[in-house]
Each structure stands twice: as C-alpha cells, then as structure tokens.
A and B are shown apart, each in its own frame.
Chain A
Amino acid sequence: MADYVGIDLGTTLSGLAYLKPDGNPEIVPNADGERLTPSVVYFDSHEDVKLVGSAARDGGDPDRTIFQIKRHMDDPEHLVKVDGKDWTPAEISALILAKLKRECSRIIGDINEVVITVPANFNELARKSTIAAAEMAGMKVKRLVNEPTAAAVYYAESQGVKGKVLVYDLGGGTLDVTILEVGGDRIRILTSEGARHLGGSNFDELLLDAYGAQYEKQMSANLFSDEKHRRRILQATEDAKKMLSKLQRVNDTVANDANSGIARIDLTRDQFESMIRNMLTRTVMLVEQALDSCNLKPSDIDHVVLVGGSTRIPKVKKVLEKMFGQTPKSCGNVDECVALGAALFAKSSARIQEVCNASYGTLAMVYNATTKEEKVMNSVVIPKNTPIPCSNSQIYFTSEDNERVIEVDITQGEDEDPRFVDVIGRITLEVPPNRPKGCEIAVTFSYDENQRVRALVVDKQSGRSREVAVNYKGAGVLSDEELKRRTKHLSAMRIE
C-alpha cells in the first residue's frame, strides 16, 4: 500500500505522485503510459465505458466530451446532461480520480488516503465538491492543500533554498500566488492568494478569436459552426501558443467544416502578448495583493518560483523579472511539481505552518461613533492568513430589549461590505426573556490544522452557549446518503 500519495486534480491535466521509500516523490504513470492525464472525460455511446485522458480528449463527439470540469466545481447549477442523466462536476471529477486510483494502484499498491491540491481561492462548495469526488472514487482525503503551497514544498525540498519565496503558479485554469518563508526544515506559509478563470485556457480562447478573425478576413466565412470543429481549432491554438513560447512567429493552415477553403494563419509573439496583456496585468495585481497581505516589498523576496505550464510564456517571465529585479526560477518540471509537492506534504505536513485560506466572521449591526450611523457590516473574527491552528473571539452586544433568539450568520470573506462575502452558515442561540439590550455575546471561531472551522456563541450573562462545526451545506452539496449512492454507482463503472 502507498502511504503518502498526492494528487494534482488540474483544470487541463491531472497527476498522481507518491513518496518512494527513500523519501523522494515520484509521478506514477497511468495505464496509457502518460505521467499526466488530461482532465477530460468521454461518455461512449456504443459501450458502457467512460474514457478519461488522452483518448477522451483526442476524438469523439463533443456533446459527450467534458473538458475543464474543474472550472465549474464552485457552481451549484452546473450539470452535464448525457443520455438523460445529469452529472455534477464532482461526479465528472470522480471519474478522473477513479482512473488515477485504479491505474496507479497497479504500480504502487492500494491507494486509500490522499492529499489533493486545490487552487488557493477555491470556495467552500468547490472544496467540498473535491472531497466528494475523491470519496466517490474510493479515496479518503487526508488533507486539501493549496496548489502553490504544494509546489513551494517541492521547490524548497528539492532546491534546498532559504528565505522568502514567492510562488507564481499559472496553470490551465487558475493563477495562484503563495509567499512562504523557508528556514531550516520548517516552512511557514505567509499568504496564499488566487484568481479564478485566469490561465492557459483563457489564452487559448483569445487565440481562437484571432484564428477566427484571420479566417473570416481571408475566406469571408466563419471558421467553425459546431462545437466539434471549434474543439479541433482550439487544440490547434493551444499548439500555436506553445510554439510562440519558443518562436517569434508561427504559421498554421486551417479550414472550416463547410469547405470554404484553407486559410493561412500568421501570428507573432508580439501579437499574442498583446492579446493576453489584460490577463497578465491581472496576474501582476494578484502578486501585488499577495505582497501587500504580508507587508512585503518586491525587494524582500529572495526567490521567485514559476509553476504551471503557462509560465513557459516568455512575457510572464519578463513581467516578473521587471517587477522583482531578479530572474524567476522554474520549479523543475512546472507541470508535475504540484503533484510531487502534494506527496511530500502528505508526509511532512507537521513541518509546514499554514494559514487560514479565508477570513471568517459574522454579520453585525455596526455603530459608527463618529457619524452616529448604524449599518450591517461583515465583522471579521479570524482574518485571512492567520497562522493555524488559531482561535479568535469578538464580543458583541444585543441591540434590542427582550431578545429571545440570537442568530449569528457565519461569513467567509474579508470585505466589510456584506454584499461581497458568502454566508456559509448560521448559529441560533435561545436566551432568557426580559433582558435589556446590551447583553454581551461572545463569538469565537477556531480553525484547526485540518482546515476545519468551528464557531462558538456564548451568552455571557446566562452562560448558555452553542458550538457548531462550520460546514457549508448550501446548494450543490451532496447529502451523505446521496454521496454513498453515487459512490456505489461509480464503483461499478468501466473507466478506461
């Protein structure tokens, strides 16, 4: 049995790594001989089989092929309908994880418990969906760990660096930035910030627009009219993007599916860099936000480390070099280091000081003594980036006479404006009658090493209290019974 296993469940590629007896992590190939498995699922119509990986990506009916499901893990309304059955993003992800588990366990033995990586800014639903996916695939999730944290652990272990390290992880679907401090054998995470829908697949889509525009100019026709052909062209744009990381100019020939003729596509690296400039500016702003979060300047960073396939784009390196005044270093194999780091993390999590992924607080009527105004605000109890484990309390007062029920809305998010935070739970506490307003209520949140959050509400006068595990149960979260049913269903499926 493999004791320490890490899985990078990526937007475009997924990988599984384990810790060898000598303590070094190693990627385990799938049964197709690939070190990384494309995160694509194909529902075959002839045989009752679900294809996962390259076979799914490279052919077949686009209506039955699911790409980039990770982008929808936080969307409770996203369902994929195939042959009359609705599949949730967690179920599709479970098929990918099931292939990895089944095929890799033939090489390294049974896989029961795993560390899975997630983007730093994955919300509660996306994190729960990832855990549910693993359970459906027959694995227990020991820990979820942020992708850049895993990559940083691998980099720190393999390069033996010390000091402050900034990890810039630009993958297929998301950007994550983590700043950490390495000293001796200890790693202290200072902050992890993430940006959603910002990655290589966004760049592919921009190139697709460019292909379409050039085709239309030359042929006076649309380049594609259906999803199947669009997918094929999208694959070509991804290849062009990769070539533009090595060459200044690429040429391609494309035809549409209506025999309108063949057009010659001509693209330069400058044009490509201009197309993605808006997105790269967003990445710079995330780096600035991460630095601000730890009160650091670019000059305080000792090492800038690149992770993720999209960091092969020369402009990415140039932008970071200009910002930090140093050449960023590549994290070895930028595509594999997240999975390798996750395997290392599975064993060494005790040596790694992590921080809260998000702020937790409550909605409260806040009185401004200067303006005499009252308004509902998000009152943070545990700020984001607080080292964990931690426990923080805030004292509040009842605002009305004879309040019988105290309701505390549990929020996730750092913004003071309640419109920009998520309400992920509520605690209700009944208190004695006939009391004047102004009674003290203590609200305590605690966050443990396993990223579990608990909330405790104490009515100071009566001593009554209520404690709950903060557990998001909103739309999109499967019940325990439903999870068991779907796990059983998936275990009987043929997945290749």
Chain B
Amino acid sequence: MFKKVIQSISKSLGGKPAVKPATKPKSGGGVLDKIAKGEPLDSGKPKTPEELCEIKKGMSKSDIHARIKLLYRRYNRAASSLDNKTRHEADRMLDAIVAIREKHFGEI
C-alpha cells in the first residue's frame, strides 16, 4: 500500500537526506499518529465504517464530528492522488465517512 510514497521516503532516509525542522512539529498529531500506524484498508476481513474511521464507543459527538472532518479532508484529497491505489482506497473511505455522518448526525 502506498508504495510510491513509502519508497520515496526510504530512499530519502537511505541517502540520509535530511533534515529536521527547526521548529517543533505542529500539534494535533494524536489522531494523525493513529492513522499513520493504522493497517492498510485491504489488509484483512471487511471492516465496518466505524472501524475504518476509527470511531470508538463512547466518543463524544464533537470528537466524531472533528474526526470525520479530518478524514473527509484527507481522503477527498487522496481521491485525486497521483497514485491509483490511493485513489481507489479513498473512494471506500469516503463511503464510510458518509455512513458515519448519517448515523451520528442524521441525513441531509
């Protein structure tokens, strides 16, 4: 999954490029961290929209709202990726995001 980008990173690391930012990284990485470490979408048995979007039991409405907003922004962008596989997976995620929104916030 996402071979293109990962390869590029590996190459960069292998070549010891780089670079550390002078400033602290932006905050708000909690959710991002989990996604970055998450399994590929096609890694096993079919997942529910909640599992795909990592919506946990007991999450508040505002947390769910923030979560699906973040995911929508991410996967809507990914739907225009230069990588074919990323685009395909983005479509699946967008369906899951809509299902979560309708379940928790009602139909439009």
Contacts and interface: CB of A to CB of B under 8 A. Distances in A.
A79 to B, nearest CB: 14
A319 to B, nearest CB: 5
B19 A399 contact: yes
Nearest to B17: A407
Contacts of A364: 18-21
A365 B10 CA distance: 12
A196 interface: yes
A443 B17 CA distance: 13
A397 B18 CA distance: 7
B91 to A, nearest CB: 8
Given A288-B69, A396-B20, A418 B82 contact: no
A400 to B, nearest CB: 5
B24 A368 contact: yes
A420 B86 CA distance: 8
A195 interface: yes
Given A74-B82, A75-B84, A398 B108 contact: no
Nearest to B6: A419
A406 B17 contact: yes
Given A369-B24, A379-B21, A292 B69 contact: yes
Given A75-B84, A123-B80, A414-B77, A365 B18 contact: yes
A400 B16 contact: yes
Interface string B57-93: 0000000000011001110111111111011000100
B34 to A, nearest CB: 10
Interface string B6-39: 1011001101111111101110010010011000
Contacts of B95: 278
B54 to A, nearest CB: 14
Nearest to B78: A420
User: Chain A: interface residue count, which band?
Assistant: 35 or more
A418 B32 CA distance: 11
Contact of A398 (B15, B18, B68, B102): B18
A425 to B, nearest CB: 11
A399 B18 contact: yes
Interface string A389-422: 0000011111110010111110001111111111
Interface string A66-81: 0000000011110000
Given A282-B98, A419-B6, A423-B4, A406 B80 contact: no
A376 B21 CA distance: 11
Contacts, number: 162
A417 B35 contact: yes
A284 interface: yes
Contact of A280 (B13, B74, B108): B108
Grouping DSSP codes into helix (H, G, I), strand (E, B) and loop, the B interface class, with mixed when no group exceeds half, is: helix
A194 interface: yes
A405 B15 contact: yes
Nearest to A404: B16
A77 B29 contact: no
A417 B36 contact: yes
Contacts of B18: 363-365, 396, 398-399, 406-408
Interface in A414-442: 414-424, 440-441
B13 to A, nearest CB: 7
B8 A363 contact: yes
Contacts of A368: 24-25, 29
Contacts of A399: 16, 18-20
A441 B16 CA distance: 14
B100 to A, nearest CB: 11
Contact of A409 (B12, B79, B108): B12
B24 to A, nearest CB: 5
A424 B8 CA distance: 11
A125 interface: yes
Contacts of B82: 74, 76, 123-125, 422, 424, 474
A195 B95 CA distance: 13
Nearest to A125: B82
Contacts of B86: 419-420
Interface of B: 1-2, 4-6, 8-9, 12-13, 15-22, 24-26, 29, 32, 35-36, 68-69, 72-74, 76-84, 86-87, 91, 94-95, 97-98, 101-102, 107-108
17 contacts: A76-B82, A77-B84, A196-B80, A196-B87, A286-B72, A289-B69, A364-B21, A365-B18, A367-B20, A368-B24, A376-B12, A396-B22, A397-B20, A399-B19, A406-B17, A407-B12, A420-B78
Given A123-B82, A408-B19, A422-B82, 13 more contacts: A121-B80, A122-B80, A196-B80, A197-B79, A277-B107, A285-B101, A288-B69, A319-B108, A365-B18, A367-B20, A376-B9, A409-B8, A417-B32
